[in-house]
Structure 1
C-alpha cells in the first residue's frame, strides 16, 4: 500500500504542473479573444478612445503571450499585427466614418478568433451575407445592369477584405491565392466581365470556389457560446456593406465626371 501511495504521489507531482500550464494556456488564449470582442463592442458604441486603449492593451498582452508560449507562427504574428495596427489607426482617424471603423475592428476580431478558436472559426459564418451579395452581383452581370453590378461588387470586395486575414490564417496558401486571383481579375476588368461570356464564366468559377471553401470549413460545428458574436457581426456586415459599396461606387462616378470636366 505504501508503494502504491508513493507512486500515486509521484504521478500527481508530474501531472499537476502540466495541467496547470494547460489551464493557464487556455485562459490566456481566451483572454486575448475576449479583449478583441470587447474592443469591437466599444467601437459599435462609438467609444473610439476606449477601444483604442483596449487595442493597445491587447498589444501588450499579445506580446507577453507570444514571448512566453511561442504558440504562433511568423505568418500568424504578421497577419494579426497588421490587422491590429489597422484597427488602432482607425480609432485615431477622425475623418474615418463609423462603418469603416467597425469593418476594421471586425477584421481584427475575426483574425484573433481564427488563431484562438478550436471550433469552426467565426469568419466562416459570413458565408450567407457574402454569397447573397455575390448573387446580386452575378444577376446584375447576367442582365447587363452595370450600376447594380458595380454596387454589388464593391460591397462584395468590402466583405472580402474583412475576412481576408482570417482566410489566410485558416486556408492553404494556394487556395487563397486562387480565390484572390479570380477576385482581382473581376475587379480589374469589370467592363470585360459585363460584356464578355468569359467574364460570366469567371464569376461562376469564383462562386464554385467560394462555396467549396465554405463547405469545407463548415465541417466542424461552431462553439454555441460564440453564436451571439456571429449574429451581431453578420448583422453589421449585412446592414453596412451595401451602403459602403454604393457610396464607393457613387464616389468613383463623381471622380470620373470631374475628370471629364477638366
Structure 2
C-alpha cells in the first residue's frame, strides 16, 4: 500500500514535468526553430526552391508571432530579420556556391537555436573548425607564409561570421565588441603579419574563453532545483513509509505485551 503511494507520487511528479515539456514543445518560438532547421536540411540537399518556400513561410509565421505575442525583444527581432534575409537571398541566388548557401542558412539556424536552447547552444559546435583555422593561421604568421595566411584568414573569417549573429544573443555586448574589434584589426592589417602578432595572442585567449565559458555554464541552475525537489520528494516519501512501517510494527507488538 505504502509503495503504491510512493509510485503515485512519482508518477504525478514526472507527469507534471512531461506536461510542462509538452507545452514548451508547442510554443511558437520552437515552431519557428523547427522551420529553420528544416530549411537548413533542404539547403544541404540542394533543394533550394523548397528551402526558399520554407524560409518565406518562416517569414509569415514570424510576422504573425511578433504581432500577436511579445516573445522577442527589438534586438532579437533585428538579428532574426537580418540573418533570415541573408539566408533567403543566399538560397535564391543562382550564382552563389552551395557551401556559401549552406553557411548562410546555418547562421540563421544558429540564431534561432540561440533563442531556444536552454543549455549548450549549437554554435559551440563550431569550436573545432574555428580554433583549428586560427591555429593554422597563427602558424602561417610565425613562418611568414603570406599566401597561405591570407587563405586561412579568409576561411577563419567565413567560419566566425557564421556564428557571429548568434553570439549577439548569448554573449555580453561589451565582450563581443572586444572580440570583433580584434578580428577587424587583424583583417585590416592582413598585409602586416608582424603587426598582428600581439592581436593574435589576445584573440586566441578571447576565443578560448568564449567557448570554455559556455561549456562551463551549460548546466541550467534550474536543473539543480529539479534534482533537489525530486530527491526531496523521494526522501520524504521513503521516510514516511518507514515511519508508518515502524509504527505498525510497534502497535502490532503491544497486544503481545498485554497478554503476557
SS at match of 1:218: helix
How do 1:23-172 and structure 2 match up within 5 A? Answer: 24=23, 26-28=25-27, 29-172=29-172
Following the alignment from structure 2 to structure 1, what is the Cα–Cα distance between the partners of residues 117 and 155? Answer: 27
Q: CA deviation at 1:220?
A: 4.1
Q: How does 1:245-260 map to 2 (within 5 A)?
A: none
Instruction: Spell out, residue by residue over 1:116-145, the C-alpha distance to the aligned partner (whole angstroms, 9 max, x if none).
Output: 111111001211110000000000001101
CA distance in 1, matches of 2:89, 2:189: 31
Counterpart for residue 203 of structure 1: 200
Q: Distance in 1 between matches of 2:45 and 2:210?
A: 33
Question: Per the alignment, in what secondary structure is the counterpart of residue 201 of structure 2?
Answer: helix
* Alpha-carbon offset, residue 26 of structure 1: 3.9
Aligned length: 203
**1:187 shift after superposition:** 0.5
Q: Deviations over 1:9-49 (max 9, x none)?
A: xxxxxxx9xx9899555413222111111100100111000
Partner Cα distance (1:201, 1:84) in 2: 36
Query: TM-score with structure 1 length normalisation?
Result: 0.73
**Which segments of 5 or more consecutive residues in structure 2 lack a partner in the other structure?**
1-15, 221-260
Change (3 A) 1:136 1:120: same
CA deviation map 1:168-218 (0-9, x unaligned): 1111111111000000000010122x1x2x421110100001101111111
How far residue 148 of structure 1 moved from its aligned partner, in angstroms, is: 1.3
CA RMSD, 1 decimal: 2.2
User: Relative contact order (C-alpha < 8 Å, sep 6+): which is higher?
Assistant: 1
TM-score normalised by structure 2 residue count: 0.73
1:121 and 1:21 mapped to 2: Cα distance? 21
Q: C-alpha displacement at 1:69, in angstroms?
A: 2.7
Aligned counterparts of 1:175 and 1:166: Cα–Cα separation in 2: 14
Q: Matches of 1:21 and 1:219 in 2, distance apart?
A: 26
Distance in 1 (alpha carbons) for counterparts of 2:91 and 2:196: 39
Deviation of residue 91 (structure 1)? 1.6
Whether contact under 8 Å (1:121, 1:222) holds in the other structure is: no
Structure 1 residue ranges without an equivalent (≥5):
1-15, 224-262
**CA distance in 1 between partners of 2:21 and 2:68 (Å):** 13
